């Protein structure tokens, strides 16, 4: 079966390549802060965007001594193309300092649930006190048991995309 992000969206790619490409399928939810108790092993993340075009985003992320450059395509439902590459920490810091106008900072907590894993982000700075939970899925049809701390789904609400939070921080919403 060919995924919805195929020839109609990216028609120049061959069918063989499409079957092997990186497709992120992710649902996103608000978190009830009163019901969420973060584990002790959160990781600080600092990230910025080199491109925030509607059809693509290019992100630089640092967490600890690791850094990545990530290219994401336009979301179609809960799916989009995603390609992520490790880069030297020093280069990531230069990119963040010199080419990324808006920086997002957050603490990420990983919470396993069976074969899946929730990522709960506690945003800092201009996006505090926002808490978002994401879960990556093997297919858009995968059923997910929602923990009690999960609130409203915001998967298709672009205000909650990290790239948009960099442009329009949570604290500026009315």
Residues designated as active site: 49
Q: How far is Cα 39 from Cα 114, in angstroms, rounded to an integer?
A: 17
Nearest to 170 by CA among 78, 104, 72: 104
**CB-based contact 33:148 (threshold 8 Å):** no
Q: Which two tokens stand for residue 165?
A: 């939070």
Q: Which two tokens stand for residue 43?
A: 């990781």
**CB-based contact 100:49 (threshold 8 Å):** yes
As a dihedral over the C-alpha atoms of residue 126, residue 30, residue 23, residue 116, rounded to 10 degrees, the angle is 120
């Amino acid at each position: 079966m060919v995924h919805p992000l195929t020839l109609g969206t990216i028609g120049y790619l061959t069918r063989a390549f499409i079957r092997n490409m990186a497709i992120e399928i992710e649902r996103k939810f608000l978190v009830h802060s009163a019901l969420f108790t973060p584990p002790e092993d959160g990781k600080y993340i600092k990230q910025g965007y080199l491109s925030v075009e509607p059809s693509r985003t290019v992100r630089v992320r640092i967490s600890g001594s690791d850094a990545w450059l990530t290219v994401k395509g336009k979301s179609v439902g809960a799916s989009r193309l995603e390609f992520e590459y490790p880069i030297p920490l020093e280069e990531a810091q230069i990119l963040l300092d010199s080419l990324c106008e808006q920086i997002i900072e957050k603490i990420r907590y990983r919470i396993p649930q069976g074969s899946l894993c929730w990522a709960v982000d506690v945003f800092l700075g201009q996006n505090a006190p926002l808490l978002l939970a994401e879960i990556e899925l093997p297919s858009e049809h995968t059923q997910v048991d929602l923990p009690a701390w999960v609130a409203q789904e915001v998967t298709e609400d672009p205000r909650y995309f990290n790239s948009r939070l960099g442009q329009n921080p949570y604290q500026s919403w009315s």
